[in-house]
Structure 1
Amino acid sequence: MQLVKYFNQFMKDTVNLNQSRINILDQKAITIDNFINNSDTFKANYKDLFSQGSYKHETIIKPPKSNKEFDADLLLELETFSEWESNPSEYINELYKIFKSSDRYKNIVIKNTRCVTLNYSGDFHIDIVPLVKRSGSYYIINKSDNVFEKTNPIEYTAWLMDKHRHSRYQLKKIIRLFKYMRDIKQTFTSKSILLNTMLASQVNTYDTDSDYSNLPTAFKTIINRLNDYLQTNYFMPHIYNPTMPEEDFMRNWTQDQYSNFRDKIKSLTEKTNEAYNEEDQKKSIKTWRKVFGDKFPDFERSAKLESVDENYTEEEEFPDNKFSNVSLDYNLKISCTVKGQAGFRDMLLQYVQVLFAQKKLEFNVDSTDVPEPYEIWWKVKNEGHAAKMAGQLRGSIFKGNKSHIEPTKFKGAHYVECYIVKDNICVAMDRIDVPIEIANKKYTPI
């Protein structure tokens, strides 16, 4: 059985990092950004500070009890210092110095090979990685070898997010589930970027909604494809960075580690298929617990989970049912402008810290490479108790144009999707999550 509600509860209660901890992390990052930007050493060369890795990809999970801290990566983009060109380790050394000279940070800063780490003991640590652009490419610094190392974090994130889009926005959750099995169950070992790449590589541009119709179905789709790939490769293959082919993510694995991973995925795939296809609910739950461990909801909790999903509505439509086919062969980028936010000028949603109700949101098609003529369709899905009580969960797909305006009525984690349709085939889509708050606490979607 698919047990969608069980999976959702498992993600909420066990796998996903608490939103309160993410909020604290966000505030720390803002403070660090201001500190570096105002420092005498870096303010003239400062360009940006932005999240990277699992923080950027939204794949951080609750850490195991034996190690309650989690980590987050920040990339510090700088203009090059000409005086450090022959001695790149100075990027790390000087960054360490400004934190060490600060009363706020002096007791929590650590100097590492490629970053400076701020250790908020008992909660999380933040790795700050200097990043510079030289001759059109990005580089980080290896302090130990005193060299620049080529990297491509922005392109890799774009590749991963494109795969996430083609997975009907299930990939991030699947990555979290695999990281849970790795970190909590300790079923296998793998660096996160290698694991992310292997999982994302199983997503195809020609996939249909039925491959990812819900989380258990998406998990089954990906783990079966991964297992098929691994079983055809007895000897450890190369897994190259999809946006920088000279980098092999397998370089730190041994054949024994690969073989263990291959065997574990085979076993997990067999259990997944058994649990998914089992028609008896109690037996299905028991087998899913063999996949994810005893934190997966058990049969005794079924009464609570079998209650009606508060976000379900018969009105909701999906593109694979609305149109004759879904083939996402083109690109689409939409944006959202917040209008009427008290005390602020109109601004893009991505720059708004807290979005309140009773405002207007203007969604716009910024760009698409779909050749004309085509049609533009929109979907607005409200979620949460307030929207349900008002009978406004919505979710229908309707024809529109390049601009669509919506009011912010209800607190909750809502989303808007846009589809480009050509000859009754959905050929491009994009999505924006819209977290709306009424009081002072921001509500962010899972």
Structure 2
Amino acid sequence: MSAKYFREFRENIAVKNYEDIGTSYDEITKRLNRTFWGIDSADKNRLRVGSYGRHTAINGISDLDMLFEIPEAIFKKYSAYEYNGQSALLQAVKNALLERYPNTDISGDGQVVCVKFKRFHVEVLPAYFDPVKKCYLHPNTHDGGSWRPTYPREEIDAMKALNTKANRNLGHLCKMVRAWKNHRGVGMSGWLVDTLCYNFFVEHPKFHTATYDNYPGLVAEFFLYLTALSPNQQYWLAPGSRARVPNDGSFLPKAKKAAKKATDALAEGDLKKRVELWRDIFGGCFPPAVQMVKATAQVATESFGGARSTEEFIENQYPLDIRYRLAIDCEVSTTGTILRLSRIFEHLRWGWQLKFQITEHNVPKPYSVFWKVRNKPLAGYRQDIRGQLLEDQGSEERQERTSFAGDHYVECYIVKDEVCVARDRIKVPIGTM
């Protein structure tokens, strides 16, 4: 019964703008080939890397990676610089791309040149293939400049081989886990997602032959697998390259919640309740049990007992790529006493003052903060459903007041470079009295 929902879910999260992405890759490649190789080619000397190259990206992908191979003569030229020829190479790549995109924000920093298009960014990594070391050497501009090895083909080949052996189930799991981390605000890199999914399939070959009918059990066992990992492990080894993939955030608490909900979904006999549990894990990309009329681009128009909804969704305004940590909490002020909402109350009373605030995040500046106060009244109440996206004015907090009963929540989002990179949610249950 769940097979058709997981099939539609997988289709919903597939990359939709692949033609625009392909055009950008081709135009960048063509410009760099003219500058550094003297040829007019849109596909030679380039390698699509990252999640797009590993075929694990999902719709809304914002950061695309491309390796561009430079000739030996260019590598020797910049290696001969007395100081930081690597920085000079990035500047040369940047200047070449500015000829093609003179009105686009293009920056070179650290190891890559980033081309910032409106809906996604392409990070270009210039690299020389060393036939002796059998690896690519890419520039690192820090500490006076150096060349670092990278093995992207080995990573792509390892993922491809296991995905073929596992009947494409590895790729499907990587994409589903990305939907979970974006919906639930789990600070994991795509590299870490792919590595852990790869390790799971190596250790659980029984899922190599899984069909959509088996996906509920597959997903539940994967989340249980995550909960068994050591919270103190600092890194895992990437498939193929054996490069260190850092444990760049605490994903275990949210993985435990997902495992509990997935296990509950397996045991749930009612279809609607079972689907809602999956939607709670994966978000709106997982199809509802009862199909609803699609909302307009940014504002939902569903009705709750005569109440009107003006809810807005962050994914309709910014691409989602959650890769940083964010935690929020709420102070409840009642009769002069301030207590923490998440630790004390099962239900709040009307008329209490609430102060939501960011307690932790690791997003580097500059960035923007947005809040969403989702008020959904109980049956019989006719208050309008709030849910607009509200930009923070610099305080990184939000003042509210309990006004009517319902299972409400508040979400916070951090947007950097026009991409939502962190999010967190806190429930606000308000009682009838």
Query: For the superposition of Structure 1 and Structure 2, which TM-score range results when normalised by the shorter chain?
Result: 0.5 to 0.7
Say which is worse superposed, 205-214 or 86-95, in terms of deviation. 205-214
Counterpart pick for 2:120 among 96, 106, 124: 124
**Counterpart-to-counterpart distance in 2, 1:236 and 1:79:** 39
Show the counterpart of 1:264: 254
| Counterpart residue number, 1:58 | 55
Shift of 1:237: 4.9
**Structural mapping, 1:7-26, within 5 Å:** 7-13=6-12, 15-18=13-16, 21-26=17-22
Tell me the alpha carbon deviations over residues 217-243 of structure 1, each in whole angstroms, 9 at most, x when there is no partner: 246325524533642524225312343
Instruction: Report sequence identity in percent.
Output: 17
Deviation at 1:107, TM superposition (A): 3.3
Q: How far apart in 2 are the matches of 1:196 and 1:143?
A: 28
Q: Which residue of 2 aligns with 1:286?
A: 276
Q: Deviating runs (4+, > 6 A) in structure 1? A: none
Does structure 2 conserve the Cα–Cα contact (< 8 Å) formed by 1:198 and 1:226?
Answer: no
Q: Where does residue 43 of structure 1 map in the other structure?
A: 38
Q: Alpha-carbon deviation of 1:249?
A: 1.1
Partner of 1:425: none
Unpaired runs of 5+ residues, structure 2, are 293-433
Matched residue, 1:204: 202
Task: Answer yes or no: is the 8 Å Cα contact 2:198–2:239 preserved in 1.
Answer: no
CA shift for structure 1 position 292: 1.6
The structural deviation recorded for 1:55 is 1.5
Measure how far apart 1:48 and its partner are: 0.6
**Residues in 1 aligned to 2:233 and 2:47: alpha-carbon distance in whole angstroms:** 34
- Could you list the runs of 5+ residues in structure 1 that have no partner in the other structure? 64-68, 303-446
Residues 1:143 and 2:135 aligned together = no
Residue from 125, 129, 143 that aligns with 1:133: 129
Cα distance in 2 between the residues matched to 1:94 and 1:224 = 49
- Is 1:163 paired with 2:162? yes
Give the letter for the 2:104 counterpart.
N
- Correspondence for 1:342: none
Deviations 1:52-106 (A, max 9, x none): 112212222233xxxxx71211110122321211423332121112123x15345
Distance 1:43 1:290, change over 3 A: same
Query: Which range moves more in the overlay, 134-143 or 124-133?
Result: 134-143
1:234-245 to structure 2, matched below 5 A, reads: 234-245=231-242
Counterpart of 1:271 in 2: which secondary structure? helix
Using a 3 Å threshold, how does the CA distance of structure 1 residues 205 and 198 change in structure 2: closer, same or farther?
closer
User: How many Å separate the matches in 2 of 1:110 and 1:213?
Assistant: 44
Paired residue secondary structure (1:279)? coil
Question: What is the distance in 2 between the residues matched to 1:296 and 1:107?
Answer: 35
Q: Answer yes or no: is the 8 Å Cα contact 1:211–1:217 preserved in 2.
A: no
Normalising by structure 1, we get a TM-score of 0.57
Superposition RMSD on alpha carbons, in Å?
Answer: 2.9
| Counterparts in 2 of 1:158 and 1:295: CA distance versus 1, 3 Å | closer
SS in 2 for 1:60: coil
Q: Structure 1, residues 13-52: CA drift from partner, whole Å, max 9, x if none?
A: 3x2221xx1111112222222221122x4438x9611211
The change in CA–CA distance for 1:240 and 1:226 in structure 2 (over 3 A counts) is farther
In the TM superposition, 1:159-198 aligns within 5 A as: 159-186=158-185, 188-198=186-196
- Contact residue 169 and residue 208 of structure 2 kept, 8 A: no
Name the SS of the counterpart of 2:214 in structure 1: helix
